Amino acid sequence: MCLIGDEMRECLVEMSNTKLKFYVVALDLEIGKSHVIELWRAQANKLIKACDNSLEKLMTYLEFRYGVL
């Protein structure tokens, strides 16, 4: 479970990858809506590296803007 954004929305967050893609899926527990971020693995690797190779730290940077993750 993760609290996302200034509104501190409770979400379940899952991160997974394939050979070419990296996915972040967040289920907003308040409204039951799921949000998906799809990145190329090279992009995701750069983000994760910038977060000291910590997926937990990457989750702290997630936020909602205009109702979209």
Q: How confident is the model at residue 18, as a pLDDT?
A: 95
Tell me the domain boundaries of the chain.
2-60
Q: How confident is the model at residue 2, as a pLDDT?
A: 82
Tell me the pTM: 0.84
Instruction: Indicate if the pLDDT at residue 7 is higher than 90.
Output: no
pLDDT (tens digit per residue) in 12-56: 999 999 999 999 999 989 889 999 999 999 999 999 999 999 999
Between the CA of residue 17 and those of 8, 24, 29, 48, what are the distances in Å? 26, 9, 23, 13
How big is the CA angle at 51 (ends 64 and 39), to the nearest 5 degrees?
A: 55
**Separation CA 58–CA 16 (nearest Å):** 13
